Amino acid sequence: MGAERLNERTLDLLYREHLTAAMQRADRALAATGFDALEIHAGIPPTLFLDDQDYPFKVNPHFKAWVPVVDNPGCVLLYAPGGRPRLLFHQPQDYWHKAAPLPRDAWTREFDVVPLRSASEIAARRDGLGRTAVIGPATALGHVDPERLNPPGLLTRLHYERAIKSDYEIECMRRASRLGAQAHLAALAAFREGLSEYEVQQRYLRACMQREEEMPYNNIVAYNENAATLHYQHLEREAPRPLRSFLIDAGAQFRGYAADITRTYASAPGAYADLISEMDRMQRALCAEIVAGRDYRDVHLTAHHAIGEVLRRAGIIRIGPDAAVETGVTGVFFPHGIGHLLGLQVHDVGGVLADPEGHERKRPEGHPYLRLTRRLEPGVVVTVEPGIYFIDSLLAAAKSDARRDAIEWKAVEALRPYGGIRIEDDVATTRAAPENLTRDAFARAAA
């Protein structure tokens, strides 16, 4: 048997275990919240205002947690404890659009798959299931008794548990990372050729064979000062001259699971290239902290200290790391969290939940943007994404207050035209050493 077939069989086996775990999770959540069954809608895309076209379809993450179908709106999953899950697979009679064929992959053996011609058939299909909790975007559902629609207690339980990925989910994320790493290398080659942001994006998409709307988030392809905008959203059609720096934050998906990868490159040797090397060294050290039992808030605070050290050694600040963190100077250059949960969504839900009941695990004071405050456990996949940016508005604010004297403005002015640096890996917590999905994927792509 070829390696690829073997891989597919392994994935099928892992999927079966994953589905069993998803059913057990659902059983616990239903029992705790007094519902008899789940009805999960894939959703339908909203229509443009005053138009007859739809926005790109983004499937309900609760649906793709069970069913690896991300591109067929209108599907519904029905599940009651003790029974087989039932997939109502949307196949409308519509001569404007091509209906998706009924899936026949190995995973469908775990479901009763039934074609669904129209939403009006759903009521009959759910007959006999008892009191169902309906999960889906309200706009796609028509009238549902509000007590049954997205019940917060039920959702919170599912969100809390979703942070711990099954082996199947981690394998999907490995594969998404491999697609992403391969496409990142194609993007780097395009940058080295001097192509524009727009052309880099085209090369990237071609290399991972995904459409722009299939990306798990809007790719950030930023040259020079554009790298200082954290979620830079444009694609300039011409490359700037001189072309100094390249920050690319671009992902990929596999069966609905995301990779979230950032790399930063310099056009030429110099202070900025040296700063990238320092950041890379520091980022690797932070990745080693993704171990079971570690409080992720401490990873974030450690990152602030490490960034303070890098800034000091590079001559960008005049004070030591402790003082720089305490006085908010590191926050001028690093104004986002060190990372977040990753999975079905690029910012996976449940990052600040303390328990399945929905209590909050507080962010450290002064760090409102941190999206993850939980203690790490085996199976939790996170990003580690330290950055140093030269952001006009934050620098202006620091210049006008007590932080002014802590900053070496000449060094800042020299680096401002490069925008910034971010290095981002996806890392799985295990029972032993962390598994760096991103670095492993780059190593494999380069081999």
Question: Which residues bind to ligand GLY, rule: CB under 6 A?
Answer: 217, 249, 260, 346, 385, 424
Residue 425 contacts Mn ion per CB under 5 A = no
Q: Could you tell me whether strands 425-428 and 220-223 are parallel, antiparallel, or unpaired per DSSP bridges?
A: unpaired
Closest contact distance (angstroms) between CB of 149 and ligand GLY is: 29
CB of 382 to ligand GLY, least distance (A): 11
Find the shortest distance in angstroms from Cβ 370 to Mn ion. Answer: 12
Stretch that binds Mn ion, among 16-24, 31-39, 260-268, 275-283 (CB under 5 A): 260-268
CB of 381 to ligand GLY, least distance (A): 13
d(CA 243, CA 238): 11
Give the nearest distance from C-beta 268 to ligand GLY in angstroms.
26
Distance in Å, CB of 178 to Mn ion, minimum: 17
Q: Which is nearer to ligand GLY, 133 or 176 (CB)?
A: 176
Which residue of 169, 171, 260, 426 would you call a contact of Mn ion, by CB under 5 A?
Answer: 260
Q: Is 318 exposed, middle or buried (0-12, 13-18, 19+ CB in 10 A)?
A: middle
When the beta carbons of 57 and 217 are compared against ligand GLY, the nearer one is 217
What is the size of the binding site for Mn ion (CB under 5 A)?
5
User: Which entry of Mn ion, ligand GLY, none binds 217, CB below 5 to 8 A by partner kind?
Assistant: ligand GLY
Which residue number, 222 or 353, has a Cβ lying nearer to Mn ion? 222
161 is in the binding site of which of ligand GLY, Mn ion, none (Cβ under 5 to 8 A by kind)? none
Tokens of 153: 């207690």
Q: CA dist 29 to 23, 80, 81, 114, 166, Å?
A: 10, 12, 11, 26, 18
- Of 377-396, binders to Mn ion (CB under 5 A) are 383
Q: Is residue 372 a contact partner of residue 346, using CB atoms and an 8 Å limit?
A: no
CB of 274 to Mn ion, least distance (A): 23
Q: Smaller CB distance to Mn ion: residue 135 or 391?
A: 391
Is there binding between residue 253 and Mn ion (CB under 5 A)?
Answer: no
User: What is the rounded distance in angstroms from the CA atom of residue 325 to the CA atom of residue 339?
Assistant: 18
Hey, what amino acid is at 356? Answer: P
Identify which of residues 110 and 260 has a Cβ nearer to ligand GLY in the complex.
260
- Residue (199 or 249) nearer to ligand GLY, CB: 249
With contact defined as beta carbons under 8 Å apart, do 323 and 331 qualify? no
**Distance of alpha carbon 373 from alpha carbon 247, whole angstroms:** 27
Residue least distant from ligand GLY (Cβ): 249
Ordered DSSP codes for 48-79: PTTSS-BPPP---HHHHTT----S-TT-EEEE
Give the span between the Cα atoms of 114 and 56, in whole angstroms.
25
In angstroms, rounded to a whole number, what is the distance separating the alpha carbons of residues 294 and 307?
20
Check binding of 426 to Mn ion (CB under 5 A): no
Q: Which is nearer to ligand GLY, 39 or 260 (CB)?
A: 260
CA 392 to chain centre: 27
Alpha helices (H) along 288-351: 296-313, 321-326, 329-333
Nearest-angstrom CA–CA distance, 207 and 203: 6
Contact 45, 170 (CB under 8 A): no
| CB nearer ligand GLY, residue 235 or residue 292 | 235
Q: Is 249 in the site for Mn ion (CB under 5 A)?
A: yes
Give me the least distance between CB of 1 and ligand GLY, in Å please.
38
- Short-list 199, 198, 203, CA closest to 236: 198
Residue nearer to Mn ion on the CB measure, 244 or 422? 422
Note if the bond before 242 is cis, omega within 30 degrees: yes
CB of 180 vs Mn ion, minimal distance in Å: 10
User: What, of Mn ion, ligand GLY, none, does residue 435 touch, CB below 5 to 8 Å by kind?
Assistant: none
The label of the residue with tokens 């320092």 reads 278
Residues near Mn ion, by CB under 5 A: 249, 260, 262, 383, 424
